Structure 1
């Protein structure tokens, strides 16, 4: 028998002749022979500012040290892609002083600009003309120690991620990142131990060994030992920041509304939620000063983005999580609606988290799909093109990118066409879920396959082929084999699952092991790794059926 697997598919500046009484652009003009007069000195200052060189600009002032510090703060705070600065109305006086105006235009992406005009004076010293240093040169009224900054703003209230019933599944909440910086402690081992003791009341799994391992992987860079919500911080008996090298950073994070829940879908949902925040983000230029409340100078903010409506069933998600921890080896479980392909939930245990198991990566299926691939072989009659078409329609010959489930990853090599052998074919959990839904729909007389999805109204991307019409000549024998597996085969010991149809298999003694079950209007996919992983997959499935 053949196993049929488809191969996956310098800004130019115009010169102008200007008199000293007219505006003089700094673009392309540095300190030259002209800087022996007031206009030349101011022009050199402006040219350095356009290069965003605070030290270079400060040397043309009467107080280079103070000016360097202040200009650095503003240039870093504004972080402009381009800064244009024009010198306007420079006038020298007989007493060795001069006056001028500066028109500054800060530019960022998305056509964002901020313009300001400031006034200043210059003096002729023994070292030549110098700009009299005042913070107001940067912006009128800027105090000493003050700065300008450009910041991102987000509309309120922030979007929530909702379950299929409309209840909040995930929401933005203030959190505390507990960060350990090796460079800020003399005794890193002692700090790791002290931090672990401090965190033990709320995070006992963050041991000194875990912290040390994170430090080793970070190669000397700061690590986030754990992220805690505000109520968690109240449980701690001492302040983590008291540990040498540890700081507590306040931030916001999208978290589960029900703290009992966790899911490998969290990164995908967070990425989609963040994309909405990014698309609706605004901006603001602020003036800051010591002891002063930030003052808005310019900016725009649009309306808040829409909430993310998902197909997740929170109660089912809790059951999936309880089932995943049934075994002491990597286990991941996904549930889909058997009629629509909606992904109802996905959970995994800590061993699977450590292994980085996800819904997108192809894993060896071994003997699991023998009935399916035998059916493809029979229908295709050794025609590669026909086999690929059938695989596509079953959801096996394609790659899915499911918004809310898939996360950005490096390009993965396509699945290769190979001869039948143990471990010869690899499919993702999403592929296996799509296959299960196709079989469930065929069993109900709906002879077409559908694409799995998580976010309502947001289509899944399918690469490498199309799903579509199903052939009873293929699905009939497969369904019969699945029924037999549940009645007298490897899944026959499972209880509390009336009407079960199943595919069960492993990729040899070391696994991985799979379970694909159709029952109660749902499709269940279980993936386990390690020794006796086929048995482990059945254990996880059994736990699910008992508690669902």
Structure 2
């Protein structure tokens, strides 16, 4: 089935009660003792009314129906009642019997139907009994089962909800709300060519042949060709309704208000929305007519679920999506507000969508963007200062690993800040070798990389920086290769930590920050200040000069080997109270990521 939207949706269906074991019905003491020819004569110790109640309590539909004057109608009504209420847990207690001549009488029953904790339908019914030859029968009337029940109505249990909440962007505009979508269903024999001509302008992959193939594989059953938003359905609805074998089935779903909005954050926010709906659920027992009309006879309305106020900046989100739309490879952008940890934008393109939420949980080698961590570790260890002059040869064999710079550029001996801005692999590899095995792991944790966060509405993985036990492993880790991995979200957290001087708790629902599974000591303020200066130099005179027209931008480029294919490209940036990461898989260099960052910011 094809959706007319590129976004996650949440279906909401009434929750059926979980069947529970029926309590044993109590047998009431008779209120009135009738004569030998009445309902309670000594020759009939179990009266027909008690037998009827006992059969219902035993869930014996056939036995209960057989005690009535119309077993067929009684069987259908009792069965429909059990089906509509979703369980057979009703308890019928016969409470009173009155004689009405020698061949009739009336009785009452107290009834209780439990559905869920705090949900119980209690009522009383009245029935008539009559003598049929030598036997007594219940005069069949559906109302003996439940008040108001007739031959033309059924009874059902349903959950209820109040006004559906909305999911709001930071500015208060709705980004997710419950909407009506319409399924276009095709029966066997439908005119697939006519249907395809109407649907292909909305979904170009739909053709007469594709629809025919779907029908052929359905083994005679109907198929759903597409689900359409209201604005997509309206222009073609009259034509679709005229086609034989085509039916339109409306449903309610949680959808983005703009179908161009397709952030991977919407799935988690949709889950929160559903939790709110579930928590606000009420219940009702309804009498349902043959025309589908329903009248509530019992129940309680739940409280309205509150709207969900998010931190997403809608203009920034759409800018991020536009920046990636034409990138042929999988691509992602994550933007945060360093001072608060607010998630401002999470975007990825259609090729990335096919792999899942890679912006939040996809793990890749971070390449040279990890030099922010390596440099922080070296500065904290006292191995160098920003002005320490270090060699930057075009290639160098370090602990058996031949490390080249990009195109083997050779700077000779330069200050660390220049080696950082120009992204010297050889300099960083040599620095990393001299660090303790756990130095890079500890430095990464100080920036949130390798920390797991439990954040309401947001599922994330930051990355993994294992202890580098060997010098060769430290060389690889120092340039963001080997066993080091990071997600775009994780590298955005690194940028945010450098920008703010401490690692913020990520947050996508206002007032509900995430909780970290571990904490690390803060990076010294002078170290993060030095890193910010070096990242500014990267833009003004290093590997990101293509962005030097953007005032105040700080950044770090990254190219990461990805195995046998082209390298991945990265860019992490800081501008005022904005930190972000751009990732483009198999981009072959950092240039596509830098270009996407420019489109995003400009």
TM-score band by shorter chain is: 0.7 to 0.9
Which residues in structure 2 correspond to 1:78-97 (within 5 Å)? 78-80=85-87, 82-90=89-97, 95=102, 97=104
Q: Check conservation: 1:342, 1:452, Cα contact below 8 A.
A: yes
User: Offset at 1:355?
Assistant: 1.9
1:450 aligns with 2:504: yes
| 1:264-303 aligned within 5 A | 264-291=264-291, 293-303=293-303
Higher relative contact order (CA 8 A, sep 6+): 1
For 2:423, the equivalent position in structure 1 comes to none
Aligned partner of 1:47 among 45, 57, 71 = 57
Q: 1:299, 1:292 → 2: CA distance?
A: 19
Compute the displacement of 1:358 (Å).
Answer: 4.0
Q: Return the offset for 1:297.
A: 1.4
Q: Which piece of structure 1 moves more, 529-538 or 107-116?
A: 529-538
Structure 2 residue aligned with 1:417: 466
Deviation at 1:299, TM superposition (A): 2.3
The C-alpha deviation readout for 1:111-134, integer Å capped at 9, x for no partner, is 111111112234565896554332
Structure 1 residues 303 and 370 mapped into 2: Cα distance closer, same or farther (>3 Å)?
closer
1:403 maps to 456
Task: After superposing the two structures, state which structure 1 stretch, 529-538 or 274-283, moved more.
Answer: 529-538
Answer whether contact 2:437 2:467 (CA < 8 A) is retained: no
Q: Where does residue 164 of structure 1 map in the other structure?
A: 170
Which of 490, 504, 509 is residue 431 of structure 1 equivalent to?
490
Aligned to 2:413: none
Greater gyration radius: 2
- Report the aligned-residue RMSD: 3.9
TM-score (structure 1 length as normaliser):
0.78
| Matches of 1:451 and 1:530, distance apart in 2 | 31
Match of 2:157 in 1: 150
**Residue-by-residue CA offset, 1:121-154 (whole Å, 9 max, x unaligned):** 3456589655433211222232212112222222
Give the C-alpha shift of residue 404 in structure 1: 3.3
Alpha carbons 1:399, 1:431 under 8 Å: kept: no
Partner secondary structure for residue 448 of structure 1: coil
Q: Which ranges of structure 2 fall in alignment gaps of 5 or more residues? A: 1-19, 34-43, 382-434
Looking at structure 1, the residues matched to 291 and 555 of structure 2 have their Cα atoms a distance apart, in angstroms, of 69
- The match for 1:31 is none
Moved more, 365-374 or 90-99: 90-99
CA distance in 1, matches of 2:462, 2:489: 16
Corresponding residue for residue 491 of structure 1? 544
Query: For residues 462 and 539 of structure 2, what CA distance do their matches in structure 1 show?
Result: 34
**Cα distance in structure 2, aligned partners of 1:496 and 1:220:** 63
Structure 2 length-normalised TM? 0.72
Aligned counterparts of 1:221 and 1:511: Cα–Cα separation in 2: 47
How many Å separate the matches in 2 of 1:219 and 1:35? 58
Give the equivalent residue in structure 2 for 1:29. Answer: none
Query: By how many angstroms is 1:325 displaced?
Result: 0.6
Of the three residues 101, 110, 116, the one matched with 1:109 is 116
The answer to whether residue 181 in structure 2 is matched with residue 175 in structure 1 is yes
Matches within 5 A, 1:26-425: 37-48=47-58, 51=59, 57-80=64-87, 82-90=89-97, 95=102, 97-123=104-130, 130-156=137-163, 158-179=164-185, 185-186=187-188, 195-207=195-207, 225-236=225-236, 238-240=238-240, 247-291=247-291, 293-375=293-375, 378=378, 379=380, 381-382=435-436, 384=438, 388-406=441-459, 415=464, 417=466, 419=468, 420=473, 421=476, 422=481, 424-425=483-484
d(CA) in 2 for partners of 1:459 and 1:368? 30
Residue equivalent to 2:574: 518
Distance 1:172 1:346 in 2: 22
Provide, for residues 475-503 of structure 1, a one-character-per-residue CA deviation record: whole Å limited to 9, x for no partner.
35644553444344443333542333224
Q: Give structure 1 stretches of 5+ with no counterpart.
A: 1-9, 24-33, 442-446
Instruction: Measure the CA separation in 1 of the matches of 2:532 and 2:94.
Output: 80
